[in-house]
Chain A
């Protein structure tokens, strides 16, 4: 069952990024994407990451979500150092600790909404009954309990993104990361999704990291970090995002 996380007495950082570098090599050339980046994200914070294209915000999100490993530096999430984990260890860690919301939803087209949400639960030692309960709870939380057996092609963009969010929260992860979750939606659907993320953050007490170009989305966050050319250039409250 999805349940709210216990409220700690003090909001300890759930994500700690320390002096992280990420670079790629193209032949003899070295491309630095993140340059000695350090940040902390307190528990239950709704953090926005903004910046121009190529600034490194998605790379940072991927590193925090354990989809990639830093070239140098350390990343700690929920008291686990993920920067030293192998690919398999990261995969196992992601199942329980990170929920990922994509810009283009990325639902599996041959599966129903129910089956898509159930997918990450297949990796956990749960009975069919436990899986069924968790999937239904997640879909109820995103307001799609009447669309269990619809395939992605039968849902609107906003509904598909809701299924994507249900899939992200169904394992009750420590953090939710969302990479431009409203980027492919019309204004109204985008507002609904942002409302939903806000509600989930309140009701489930999740830490949410949101990468966005959209100032309206950034305004919904507690804090906005701006990246440019791989370094944090500005940090402030959401009101100043624009």
Chain B
């Protein structure tokens, strides 16, 4: 307690240096918090669950996956053929669609990627929408009801609302691009995804999409659109546990209904992990280069500041020894200053990052695969505190050790 008082007093000794060291810690903990948040999010997404898990069914031998829509109903039942077979708790079909509002001038802002599905599945099957604040949950429920009732309705992400300069209730037309060329869709915006959730996505009625694929043939003398027979991209299944997953996967992969093309059924975590394989180097670099480099830099900054402080205070430390302070007390004093400054700065940085990213920015926009925004987990407060404390402890240990080994007689002989 008494040493604590001294530690506090020493921190305000050179206020400018304390503030600069603190700012350095804040900035680096900020970067580490962001990096670790993204890594933690991806880790959580690729971590196998044992209960209430999701499975993804895609084409086995082709990327991108393109399945006949006729597979949808059977897959939704987990290819169950007898009463003893296991059925999924829930399911959701995804049919991708890409279009632009301005075919003459295609730009990032004018492009929209959307999924066509059964609107009622949106709240239960889209990740991240199951734990919304009550007001957002209620708004989403209303929007989904409107989408189900509005054949040409669409729920869009916040980024699209901004880029299109549209409001809820406005209408717009999308012109199909690439493989979707020839499928032009007219939409009425019936709602928006909650802030920070699916900001770069849109969702609309599967019925409307299927009708337009059929209409394409009518408009083109019976010639079907190339996607007409392959408009289903993937099917999500919700399963009770690992055992249920194994049974359903076996039912699907052994079903004669899915021979051409063949399908594969894997856990969502495994599917996402496969998808993220393309980002493997980036993620590796973030985990093993960027984050450690930040922590190392932080330690060096603190080591430098504490070393300067120790050099300036050698005489004072010698005086403390003369007064009877023991080496471990000097060590505690110096480490205490550093760890106090580092841990409090780290905690402040993490709290500020949490508030800024989650509340003010509505998520960190860092698109990796189909994750376009990341949120800072509440665990970040603990990380920030621990990273600040650990880096400052590592950075100040050698200077503190040298401080506690100060030879009183040597110091005073130099003064004399």
| Residues of A that sit less than 8 Å from B by CB | 58-59, 62, 65, 67-68, 87-88, 91-92, 94-96, 100, 102-104, 106, 108-111, 115, 119-120, 122-123, 167, 179
**Could you tell me the distance between the alpha carbons of A115 and B12 in the complex, rounded to whole angstroms?**
15
**Could you tell me the distance between the alpha carbons of A111 and B5 in the complex, rounded to whole angstroms?**
11
Q: How far is the CB of B408 from chain A (nearest CB, A)?
A: 5
What are some 12 contacts across the A-B interface (CB < 8 A)?
A: A62-B412, A65-B322, A88-B328, A91-B327, A94-B322, A100-B322, A106-B319, A108-B316, A109-B13, A122-B3, A123-B323, A123-B329
Q: How far is the CB of A69 from chain B (nearest CB, A)?
A: 10
Q: A106-B316, A122-B2 are in contact. Are A167 and B409 (CB under 8 A)?
A: no
Q: Tell me if B63 is interfacial: C-beta within 8 Å of chain A.
A: no
Contacts A58-B413, A68-B409, A111-B9 given; 8 further ones with Cβ under 8 A?
Answer: A67-B412, A87-B327, A91-B321, A94-B323, A106-B316, A110-B13, A119-B320, A122-B2
Task: Tell whether, in the assembled complex, residue A67 and residue B409 are in contact, meaning their CB atoms are under 8 Å apart.
Answer: yes
Task: Tell whether, in the assembled complex, residue B10 and residue A110 are in contact, meaning their CB atoms are under 8 Å apart.
Answer: yes
Interchain residue pairs A-B with the least CB separation, the first 4: A95-B324, A122-B2, A68-B409, A91-B326
Task: Tell whether, in the assembled complex, residue B324 and residue A92 are in contact, meaning their CB atoms are under 8 Å apart.
Answer: yes
Binary contact track B320-348/A, C-beta < 8 Å → 1, others 0: 11111111110000000000000000000
Q: Tell me if B16 is interfacial: C-beta within 8 Å of chain A.
A: no
Q: Tell me if B315 is interfacial: C-beta within 8 Å of chain A.
A: yes
Q: Which residues of B contact A111 (CB under 8 A)?
A: 9
**Could you tell me the distance between the alpha carbons of A123 and B3 in the complex, rounded to whole angstroms?**
9
Q: Which residues of A contact B323 (CB under 8 A)?
A: 94-95, 100, 119-120, 123, 167
Q: Which residues of A contact B326 (CB under 8 A)?
A: 87-88, 91-92
Q: How far is the CB of B326 from chain A (nearest CB, A)?
A: 4
Q: Which residues of B contact A87 (CB under 8 A)?
A: 326-327
**Could you tell me the distance between the alpha carbons of A108 and B333 in the complex, rounded to whole angstroms?**
14
Q: Which residues of B contact A179 (CB under 8 A)?
A: 412
Q: A106-B315, A106-B316 are in contact. Are A58 and B416 (CB under 8 A)?
A: yes
Q: Which residues of B contact A115 (CB under 8 A)?
A: 9
* Minimum CB distance partner of A97 in chain B: B324
Task: Tell whether, in the assembled complex, residue A68 and residue B9 are in contact, meaning their CB atoms are under 8 Å apart.
Answer: no
**Could you tell me the distance between the alpha carbons of A179 and B321 in the complex, rounded to whole angstroms?**
16
Task: Tell whether, in the assembled complex, residue B325 and residue A123 are in contact, meaning their CB atoms are under 8 Å apart.
Answer: yes
- How many interface residues does chain B have, given as a range? 20 to 34
Task: Tell whether, in the assembled complex, residue A62 and residue B409 are in contact, meaning their CB atoms are under 8 Å apart.
Answer: yes
Task: Tell whether, in the assembled complex, residue A88 and residue B324 are in contact, meaning their CB atoms are under 8 Å apart.
Answer: no
**Could you tell me the distance between the alpha carbons of A94 and B6 in the complex, rounded to whole angstroms?**
20
Q: A58-B413, A68-B408, A104-B415 are in contact. Are A94 and B324 (CB under 8 A)?
A: yes
Q: Which of B381-416 contact A (CB under 8 A)?
A: 408-409, 412-413, 415-416
Q: Which residues of A contact B13 (CB under 8 A)?
A: 109-110
Judged by DSSP, the binding face of A is: helix
**Could you tell me the distance between the alpha carbons of A67 and B415 in the complex, rounded to whole angstroms?**
15
Q: Which residues of A contact B6 (CB under 8 A)?
A: 122
Q: Which residues of A contact B320 (CB under 8 A)?
A: 119
Q: Which residues of B contact A59 (CB under 8 A)?
A: 409
Q: How far is the CB of B111 from chain A (nearest CB, A)?
A: 61
Task: Tell whether, in the assembled complex, residue A108 and residue B327 are in contact, meaning their CB atoms are under 8 Å apart.
Answer: no
Q: Which of B9-52 contact A (CB under 8 A)?
A: 9-10, 12-13
Q: Which residues of B contact A67 (CB under 8 A)?
A: 321-322, 408-409, 412
**Could you tell me the distance between the alpha carbons of A203 and B5 in the complex, rounded to whole angstroms?**
33
Task: Tell whether, in the assembled complex, residue B412 and residue A58 are in contact, meaning their CB atoms are under 8 Å apart.
Answer: yes
**Could you tell me the distance between the alpha carbons of A110 and B7 in the complex, rounded to whole angstroms?**
12
**Could you tell me the distance between the alpha carbons of A15 and B5 in the complex, rounded to whole angstroms?**
36
Q: Which residues of A contact B319 (CB under 8 A)?
A: 102, 106, 108
Q: How far is the CB of A34 from chain B (nearest CB, A)?
A: 12
Q: Which of B294-325 contact A (CB under 8 A)?
A: 315-316, 319-325
Q: Which residues of B contact A94 (CB under 8 A)?
A: 322-324
Q: Which residues of B contact A95 (CB under 8 A)?
A: 323-324
Q: Which residues of A contact B325 (CB under 8 A)?
A: 91, 123
**Could you tell me the distance between the alpha carbons of A114 and B191 in the complex, rounded to whole angstroms?**
68
**Could you tell me the distance between the alpha carbons of A94 and B321 in the complex, rounded to whole angstroms?**
9
Q: Which residues of B contact A65 (CB under 8 A)?
A: 322
* Minimum CB distance partner of A67 in chain B: B408
**Could you tell me the distance between the alpha carbons of A100 and B322 in the complex, rounded to whole angstroms?**
7
**Could you tell me the distance between the alpha carbons of A96 and B323 in the complex, rounded to whole angstroms?**
9
**Could you tell me the distance between the alpha carbons of A101 and B79 in the complex, rounded to whole angstroms?**
91
Q: How far is the CB of A220 from chain B (nearest CB, A)?
A: 22
Q: Which residues of B contact A104 (CB under 8 A)?
A: 415
**Could you tell me the distance between the alpha carbons of A122 and B3 in the complex, rounded to whole angstroms?**
8
Most buried by A among B13, B324, B325: B324
* Minimum CB distance partner of B5 in chain A: A122
Q: Which residues of A contact B328 (CB under 8 A)?
A: 88
Q: Which residues of B contact A68 (CB under 8 A)?
A: 408-409
Q: How far is the CB of A230 from chain B (nearest CB, A)?
A: 15
**Could you tell me the distance between the alpha carbons of A100 and B321 in the complex, rounded to whole angstroms?**
11
Task: Tell whether, in the assembled complex, residue B324 and residue A91 are in contact, meaning their CB atoms are under 8 Å apart.
Answer: yes
* Minimum CB distance partner of B3 in chain A: A122
Q: Which residues of B contact A109 (CB under 8 A)?
A: 13
**Could you tell me the distance between the alpha carbons of A92 and B409 in the complex, rounded to whole angstroms?**
17
**Could you tell me the distance between the alpha carbons of A106 and B323 in the complex, rounded to whole angstroms?**
11
Q: A68-B409, A106-B316, A111-B9 are in contact. Are A123 and B415 (CB under 8 A)?
A: no
Binary contact track B173-212/A, C-beta < 8 Å → 1, others 0: 0000000000000000000000000000000000000000
Most buried by A among B325, B326, B413, B416: B326
* Minimum CB distance partner of B313 in chain A: A108
* Minimum CB distance partner of B410 in chain A: A68
Q: How far is the CB of A33 from chain B (nearest CB, A)?
A: 10
